[in-house]
Amino acid sequence: MEEEQSPRLPATGEPERKHEDAVVDAEDPGSTCNGASSLEQPLLKRSNTLTASHLAMVGAKVSRIESLDYEIIENDLFKHDWRRRSNVEVLQYIFLKWAMAFLVGLLTGVIASLINLAIENISGLKMLHMVNLVRDKRYWAGFLYFSGINLALTFVAAVLCVVFAPTAAGPGIPEIKAYLNGVDTPNMFGAPQLFVKIIGSIGAVSSGLDLGKEGPLVHIGACLANLLSQGGWGKYKLKWRWLRYFNNDRDRRDLITCGASSGVCAAFRAPVGGVLFALEEVATWWRSALLWRTFFSTATVVVVLRGFIEVCRDGRCGMFGEGGLILFDVGDVAVRYHPGDLLPVTIVGVLGGVLGALYNHLLHKVLRVYNLINEKGRLAKLTLALAVCVMTSVMLYVSPFAVPCTPCSPEFGESCPTTGKSGNFKQFNCPGGHYNDLASLLHATNVDATRNIFSTGTAGEFRLDSLLIFFAVYCVLGLFTFGIAVPSGLFLPIILMGSAYGRITALLLSRFARIDHGLYAVLGAAALMSGSMRMTVSLCVIFLELTNNLLLLPITMFVLLIAKTVGDAFNPSIYEIILDLKGLPFLEPKPEPWMKDLTVGELAAAKPRAVTLSVVEKVSTIVDVLRSTRHNGFPVLDRPRPGVSELHGLVLRSHLVAVLRKRWFLGERRRTEEWEARERFTSAELAEKAGDVEEVVGMISLEEMEMYVDLHPFTNTTPYTVVETMSVAKAVVLFRSVALRHMLIMPKFQGPEISPIVGILTRQDLRAHNILDSDY
Amino acid sequence: MEEEQSPRLPATGEPERKHEDAVVDAEDPGSTCNGASSLEQPLLKRSNTLTASHLAMVGAKVSRIESLDYEIIENDLFKHDWRRRSNVEVLQYIFLKWAMAFLVGLLTGVIASLINLAIENISGLKMLHMVNLVRDKRYWAGFLYFSGINLALTFVAAVLCVVFAPTAAGPGIPEIKAYLNGVDTPNMFGAPQLFVKIIGSIGAVSSGLDLGKEGPLVHIGACLANLLSQGGWGKYKLKWRWLRYFNNDRDRRDLITCGASSGVCAAFRAPVGGVLFALEEVATWWRSALLWRTFFSTATVVVVLRGFIEVCRDGRCGMFGEGGLILFDVGDVAVRYHPGDLLPVTIVGVLGGVLGALYNHLLHKVLRVYNLINEKGRLAKLTLALAVCVMTSVMLYVSPFAVPCTPCSPEFGESCPTTGKSGNFKQFNCPGGHYNDLASLLHATNVDATRNIFSTGTAGEFRLDSLLIFFAVYCVLGLFTFGIAVPSGLFLPIILMGSAYGRITALLLSRFARIDHGLYAVLGAAALMSGSMRMTVSLCVIFLELTNNLLLLPITMFVLLIAKTVGDAFNPSIYEIILDLKGLPFLEPKPEPWMKDLTVGELAAAKPRAVTLSVVEKVSTIVDVLRSTRHNGFPVLDRPRPGVSELHGLVLRSHLVAVLRKRWFLGERRRTEEWEARERFTSAELAEKAGDVEEVVGMISLEEMEMYVDLHPFTNTTPYTVVETMSVAKAVVLFRSVALRHMLIMPKFQGPEISPIVGILTRQDLRAHNILDSDY
């Protein structure tokens, strides 16, 4: 293959001043870089343009998404702002950063505790009354009561979600992941989302649906972080001068990372696991300083949780307060390894990988179908949620009748059978001295069910057929519950499924399994999590902190590694699938191998010509450009003297709109002095998000349209640039490492007739998926 | 302040062809970018050049250091190589990567177990015999025996270290940290270092010196990783085709990360802690895929360790095998928090920060003095090591005589007093039924001492005066032992000091302290570690895995955060101090604030003019350039037609030397075809490190000097470039994020008379320290 280094020049020169014809039709495939066409074997067909979609599914609705500005915009106003910043202001900033991290942790901890309190009490009372009805053999009344309460709770959750905050449905983790990767989804981290997420989560979880509060808690943490950093929501914002330091995407990103890890910590009472989850799964960029701050947040959460547990000890909070700081304590079992354990443990790992991948595959299909239903409108969404709730109620209520009662063994002690509160040996429909093992698992909150199935020293407690029914029920529910319009987490459904198959494996292979059956349930849960979510270190620590058995660690690592390897052989992780399904332009860390064979120049040539501005530009041109394109950054060119051209930098759409809004126009084509712009604009004002052009255009008179704008003070003079011959693989590494929004492509050759810019690439242009779709 | 955007042009044009005068005297401060001098308020004085030192202390000797090439060198040969790479080869590469990670873990685990075995047996036998002599009241004989054996062991360790591998002294962690940051120190990861580190570590630790085997184990892991990836050392290399995939700095970096985390895992039996240590403290760049691979390595280590423990149970390995997988198990203590605990715990944290910072400060001073001694030669080094050994022996042997004997309390059970093997209540010089509490701490291996002081339920065991003496002894030893010429780790000395002051605090504040005194020892150790090393999450997990008490986690986090905050107020972490002391050019993650006020153009102007080459260059010019400079990369310029200039790319010194060595010369100034270079060079050959130019020059005849070299096939055509107006702060972020070695500075303006390159910046030029030193 002929290389592109042969000395060659563009066949046709660039137009002398391309700013005048800045608005280019999107159908025009004319390449800015004619030079690339001299390649003997072009890898790109030039006939089609590289069309990048700016739309994605946000909460079952197609919305316009934007990229975030994580790059430092080095323009005159910004530089002036930090040059003037005093030491006191720097200290204010540092103090506020830590205070925010503390507040995020504190509030997440308090909210999580209150959610827990509500769920345990609501569903505890519900179960208690239902069990009483069943004990009196009033089965139909019990069913109607059970499903009626469930329906009411789901209705509340779903109506809130559908009417007030459609984006609050689901876990929210994929959107947070995308945000931290640089993709802003609208209406994701506001006050309505926070409120709906809290109330909806309480309703959905206590209605017995097969979903967890873990994902929603992560989202709650992120919402809190965002609201705190903005000083409020919408019109109701705190007007505090200190807060202006946080009015940028970089600091918000850090705080949302703190929020996400606080959420995980609050969900699992796992402070280190929370930090690692944020690090391994959610965050794209990471610094040591951030590690420390997230750690501080989760430490705060854990102190709050401990405080609540101390307060609620001795039953002062109703049914809440059991369990202590460790959710599923299996620390009392001594683990001794035996070579014979290798077989069943390996089977658990392999099955975890296979089942996890299968779950991902099936969930993908179900979510596609659900998307079709959800698109039909609010009523369809609501109906779907209620239908799933009815199905859940039926399955949970009826299944225990299908298994026979088990007589209590004396070794279980006095706790068998349990009639009142939550316990391991539910009597349900059985005579005295007997218990219904399936009811112990199904008629409990999801957390209690997990605790029961993880319980150690109870090898004979659960019958194989009960476990099989339990597994089947939760497989069905796990697939069909996730996509409905209520706040829902994925963790607990997967843990429940995994623990069931772990125990089943232990029962089937009981000849080989010398490790406690409860530990097999833990291993199964870990394996399925790893098989579906493909995390390693963070899962390992979360399970360690959940179960408090350090001796289980080596074997957990073993199982996690197997399950992840097996799962990766089939499909990507569940979060990646959801990201893809929603169309969020997530940038993968590793470029595809074929990207090495493609240069950025070729990519740029496949796009419509870049729309550039002159450094002192006519108002009408700016208005035209803003109205006719949806680009967010425009290269600014200058030509200080004949034959010398300059890529002056990049100006953002939001800054142009701000200039038009303030009508900072000049009567003549001249360069302004620095103080002129500073008199009118502050760096904090420019940090605000851009409004719509159309709002602004109406205010500009026809005379003003003929005036000029000096773009010098607003132009980021040092955008990141690469040469057109760079491979896309290398460019993607740069784009992601430095967290870019726009990457400017410079020509290989420099001369009097060559434009200083070849094109401009954004996140969408560099995604493997988009490049492949655009007709190669 | 006037901005630099005003349209301006260089006052003097560049010479038409600057390649002819490529060799520029280092003293010539003439700036390539005259344009920058038009700034009204220059931040740089132009009189002095920015001199970058390429020297650093490597193992007490000043050596030349180099940067590593983590950037993808996109030249013709490399591109051809990966375009031709088949799927089978890709699979080979992936398989080998995992196999290497496995081997690193396996070998580290085995070596760590053998080291443990040796240490426990050697020092166990030594102690046993010494105790017998003391029991017979033969105190002088006991002392001579004790110090004699210690002296012999230290002598072996020090002689090996001084004669064969001076770089094996110390922990090695700072050098690994520098390597992963992109700094190559010579003779650091070879076979002699590995061998000396193993034997020296056994000798040094069993001689009772106040040092640990943790740091050396990390270095051993890194050495193993490096040797495996190279297929051997020096001349004795495995000639396996698959290994060529690993002959690049990027893959080696990943494998060394695996090695480092395996080392920590082997030292503390802490698999997750090992991964996090590598992540938080050692590694500079991190990817999710790497997280997974390191996790795989540490999982392997832990399986090997478990295997050894199983094999050695029942005393089959002499004195080795106690302790199980958890080194210092305090998991049997239930922790209930009380608001009253807040005071003593806060005191432990604050003291940890203060003492840690003080330790860093004093150690810095001691290391400076030691450097002066060590520079005097081998004999001085050896004498210093032996003197410290004698001092240690005296202090350890004599101190226990200073405290009175304590009668055994019946609640201690039958284990008091212990006479034979390691135990908590050493009889030493005491009558029957009594024990010497200080001897229990001092006459044990460091690990056993830690286990004793961490032991729970023993609040009355240690007397305050014993603990004070212990603390004082280990403070003195901890300061004076670290810098001597034996392999030495910092972890254990700090843990010993910290646990002592933790217990002292608990004793002094026993009115307030309701938590077990053993846990105070743990907290003290954690606080001092954090106060000195400034780690958070990784320390937290390491202590969790060391002590197996999850309930201690919230309070450990609290203490760690306090200690780090307090310590950071005084000085940087101990590793940063050592890095600085050695002069290793470590790039900090965060640019200094004042770097925003300085542009890369100004930096480049303060350096000697960049030495450039023409794309087809005379042999004599290349030879001159290589001999007269020590630069490792040269910009390659081209001028395809009059008025059009091109920065063709960057060529590495090693590639130029390779061309000279093969004498691939052309009779005329022409561009070669691609196959011509491919016939003579392979990508694998070019990956070898450059030899010295002087070796090669002798082979070139005078006629050949007049011939030409075509640099097209060797030039990286897409080096990362930035515009001269970019602030140094922004450039540093790019440099570190993308792991660069050379950063090319492009001019702001492009025109016929302007050179396409302004200068070239390297790691040394971007370090805050160097910029500040160079006379601003």
Please give the Cα distance from A280 to A277 (Å, whole number): 5
Residue of B80, B282, B290, B292 best to disrupt the A interface, most CBs of A under 10 A: B292
Cα–Cα dist A9/B520, whole Å:
74
Residues 6+ apart with CB under 8 A from A416: A408, A409, A424, A425, A435
What residue ranges do the domains of chain A occupy? 34-59+595-773, 103-113+166-315, 339-374+387-397+445-582
- pLDDT, position B37: 33
Sort strands A633-641 and A613-614 into parallel, antiparallel or unpaired: parallel
Domain B34-59+592-773 matching CATH 3.10.580.10: the answer reads yes
Angle between helices B574-582 and B342-374 (to 10 degrees): 20
What SS3 class is residue B167?
Answer: helix
Pick from A536, A710, A712, A727 the residue to mutate for testing the B interface (most B CBs within 10 Å): A536
Contact in structure between A747 and A616 (CB atoms under 8 Å):
no
Q: How many residues does chain B have?
A: 776
Q: What is the DSSP letter of B280?
A: I
Cβ–Cβ of B299/A671 closer than 8 Å?
no
Give the residue from chain A lying closest to B559, CA to CA: A299
Verify whether the Cβ–Cβ distance A750 to B738 is below 8 Å: no
Query: Would you call A641 and B554 a contact, using CB atoms and an 8 Å cutoff?
Result: no
User: Looking at residue B109, what is its pLDDT?
Assistant: 95
Task: DSSP letter for A487, please.
Answer: B
Which chain B residues are closer than 8 Å to A74 by Cβ? 726-727, 730
Residue in chain A nearest B601 by alpha carbon: A718
Closest chain B CA to residue A716: B726
Nearest to A83 among B1, B737, B752 (CB): B1
- The mean pLDDT of chain A is 82
Question: Which candidate from A280, A302, A561 shows the least CB-CB separation from B554?
Answer: A302
Of B94, B113, B102, nearest in space to B300 by CA = B102
Q: Single out the residue of A11, A2, A14, A4 nearest to residue A639, CA to CA.
A: A14
**pLDDT value for A160:** 93
DSSP 8-state symbol, B673 = P
Q: How far apart are alpha carbons B386 and A647 in whole angstroms?
A: 66
Q: What pTM was estimated for this model as a whole?
A: 0.86
pLDDT at B365: 92
Angstroms from B487 CA to nearest CA on chain A? 28
Rounded to the nearest angstrom, the minimum Cα separation between A291 and chain B is: 8
Give how far Cα B605 sits from Cα of B9, B432, B474, B742, B773, Å: 15, 79, 52, 16, 16
pLDDT score at A20: 32
Percent of chain A at pLDDT > 70 equals: 87
Rounded mean pLDDT, A329-357: 83
Contact, B199 vs B157, CB < 8 A? yes
Tell me which residue of A4, A2, A1 sits closest to A601, measured CA to CA.
Answer: A4
- In 3D, which of B422, B544, B560, B571 has the Cα closest to residue B498? B560
**Fold for the domain defined by A339-374+387-397+445-582:** Clc chloride channel (1.10.3080)
Question: Residue A61 — φ and ψ, nearest 5°?
Answer: -130, 140
Q: Which residues of B touch A292 (CB under 8 A)?
A: 536-537, 564
Q: Do A544 and B280 touch (CB under 8 A)?
A: no
pLDDT at B593: 81
Which secondary structure element, helix H or strand E, spans residue A493, and what is its range?
Answer: helix A491-508
B343: how many CB neighbours lie within 10 A of its CB?
A: 12
Residue of chain A whose Cα is closest to the Cα of B724: A718
Contacts (Cβ under 8 Å, ≥6 apart) of B170? B59, B215, B482, B483, B487, B488
**Can you give the pLDDT at residue B19?**
35
Write phi, then psi, for A55 (nearest 5 degrees): -115, 145
- Looking from the CA of A641 toward its CB, the CA atoms found within 13 Å total 9
- Chain B hits for A644, CB-CB cut-off 8 Å, are 9, 749-752, 754
Q: Which helix (H) or strand (E) holds A746?
A: strand A742-746
Domain A34-59+595-773 has CATH 3.40.50.1370: no
User: In angstroms, rounded to a whole number, what is the distance separating the alpha carbons of residues B584 and A734?
Assistant: 26
Residue of A nearest to B718 (CA): A726
B755 close to B597: Cβ distance less than 8 angstroms = no
Which residues in chain A have Cβ-Cβ distances shorter than 8 Å to B537? Answer: 272, 275-276, 291-292, 295
ipTM topping 0.90: no
Closest approach of A548 to chain B, Cα-based (Å): 6
| Distance from the A517 Cα atom to the nearest Cα atom in chain B, whole angstroms | 22
A76 neighbourhood in chain B, CB within 8 Å: 3, 5
Residue to test with chain A: of B280, B345, B544, B646, most A Cβ within 10 A = B646
Whether residues A289 and B557 touch (CB distance < 8 A) is answered with no
**HSE, side-chain direction, 13 A CA sphere, residue B184:** 16
Q: Rounded CA gap, A344 and A503, in Å?
A: 11
List of chain A residues whose C-beta atoms are within 8 Å of the C-beta of residue B729: 72
- What are the φ/ψ torsions at residue A720 (nearest 5 degrees)? -75, 135
Residues A58/A582, Cβ–Cβ less than 8 Å? yes
Report the C-alpha gap between A737 and A731 in whole angstroms.
10
Q: Do A730 and B72 touch (CB under 8 A)?
A: yes
* Pair B519, B549: CB distance under 8 Å: yes
Residue A42 has pLDDT above 60, yes or no: no
CATH class entry, domain B339-401+446-582: mainly alpha
Q: What is the pLDDT of residue B217?
A: 95
Residues A9, B337: C-beta atoms closer than 8 Å:
no
Q: What residues of chain B lie within 8 A of the CB of A3, using their CB? A: 76, 79, 674
Asked whether this chain's domains A103-113+166-315 and A339-374+387-397+445-582 adopt the same fold, the reply is yes
Taking an 8 Å cut-off on Cβ atoms, the answer to whether A561 and B299 are in contact is yes
Chains A–B, number of C-beta pairs less than 8 Å apart: 253
Tell me if residue A598 falls in helix, strand or coil. coil
- Whether the per-residue pLDDT at A157 is higher than 80: the answer is yes
Q: What's the CA gap between B10 and A204, in Å, rounded?
A: 69
Separation between Cα atoms, residue A205 and residue A198, nearest integer Å: 11
DSSP-derived letter for residue A42 is: -
Chain A residue with CA closest to B600: the answer is A718
Q: Do A727 and B74 touch (CB under 8 A)?
A: yes
Residue A257's nearest CA partner among A110, A105, A65, A57 is A105
Would the pLDDT of A6 be above 70? no
Beta strands A749-750 and A742-746: pairing type? unpaired
Interface touch A751/B643, C-beta < 8 Å: yes
Of B277, B269, B161, B288, give the one whose Cα is nearest residue B222. Answer: B277
Tell me if B5 and A712 make a contact (CB, 8 A cut-off).
yes
Residues of chain B with pLDDT below 50 are 1-52, 776
Residue with tokens 């795989």, as numbered in its chain = B296
**Chain A residues close to B638, C-beta within 8 Å:** 7
> How far apart (Å, rounded) are the C-alpha atoms in residues B64 and A721?
33
| A178-220 tens-digit pLDDT | 999 988 888 889 899 999 999 999 999 999 899 988 899 999 9
CATH code for the part of the protein at A103-113+166-315: 1.10.3080.10
Contact A768, A592 (CB under 8 A): yes
| Closest by Cβ to B554, choosing from A83, A299, A729 | A299
Strand pairing of A742-746 and A759-762?
antiparallel
Distance from CA of A733 to the nearest CA of B (A): 7
CB contact under 8 A, A590 and B289: yes
Peptide bond into A417 cis (omega under 30): yes
H or E, element range at A617: strand A616-618
- Nearest beta carbon to residue A751 from set B331, B715, B752: B752
B325/A551 CB distance under 8 A: yes
Round to whole Å and give the CA distance between A610 and A760. Answer: 6
Phi, psi of B342 (to 5 degrees): -60, -40
**Residue from A304, A749, A757, A758 whose CB has the most chain B CBs within 10 Å, to mutate:** A749
Residue of chain A whose Cα is closest to the Cα of B720: A722
Answer for the pair B75, B716: CB distance below 8 angstroms, yes or no.
Answer: yes
% of chain A residues with pLDDT over 90 = 29
Selecting from A638, A725, A733 the residue whose C-beta is nearest the C-beta of B717 gives: A725
Whether the Cβ atoms of residue B744 and residue B635 lie closer than 8 Å to each other: yes
Q: Quote the minimal CA–CA distance from A331 to chain B in Å.
A: 9
- The tens digit of pLDDT for each residue in A701-722 reads 888 888 999 988 889 888 898 9
Q: pLDDT per residue over A470-509, tens digit each?
A: 999 999 999 999 889 899 989 999 999 999 999 899 888 8
The DSSP output letter for B187 is: T
Are A578 and A174 spatial neighbours (Cβ–Cβ below 8 Å)? yes
